[in-house]
């Protein structure tokens, strides 16, 4: 091993170790609260890594279309709730509350 490779290996080891530590903390937190082991957590990490790899190669990740579609569905749902609120006589104040809650969520 020469001196140029050692810092890269140290950085890689620290990065991978930090990822494993974060996964372990997340698993422990979920298990502590719910008493259920959350198995799909590894899939989320893989999903994020593959999305980052696609972005680094200059491609648009396929998941962006899913994200856009879900965002549109949520916007439509909140709009329908606001319209129902106004029509039912609850008024604009209740509709504003729905929109403020929607913006605070996301």
Q: What is the DSSP letter of 58?
A: T
DSSP classification of residue 35 = S
Structure tokens, 23:
């996964």
Tokens read off for 88: 């039912």
Domains of the chain, residue spans: 1-60, 62-106
User: Is residue 50 within a helix (H) or strand (E), and if so which, with residue range?
Assistant: helix 41-56
pLDDT tens-digit profile, the chain (106 residues)? 678 898 899 999 999 999 889 888 988 988 899 988 888 888 888 888 888 888 899 998 888 888 899 989 988 988 887 777 777 777 666 667 766 777 676 5
Note the pTM of the prediction, 2 decimals: 0.49
State the pLDDT at residue 93. Answer: 67
């Amino acid at each position: 091993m020469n001196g140029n490779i050692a810092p890269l290996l140290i950085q890689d080891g620290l990065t991978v170790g930090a990822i494993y530590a974060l996964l372990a903390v997340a698993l422990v937190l979920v298990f502590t609260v719910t008493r259920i082991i959350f198995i799909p957590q590894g899939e989320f990490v893989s999903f994020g890594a593959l999305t980052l790899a696609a972005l680094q190669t200059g491609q648009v990740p396929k998941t962006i279309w899913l994200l856009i579609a879900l965002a549109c569905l949520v916007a439509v749902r909140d709009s329908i709730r606001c319209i129902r609120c106004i029509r039912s006589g609850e008024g604009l104040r209740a509709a504003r509350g729905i929109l403020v809650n929607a913006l605070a969520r996301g």
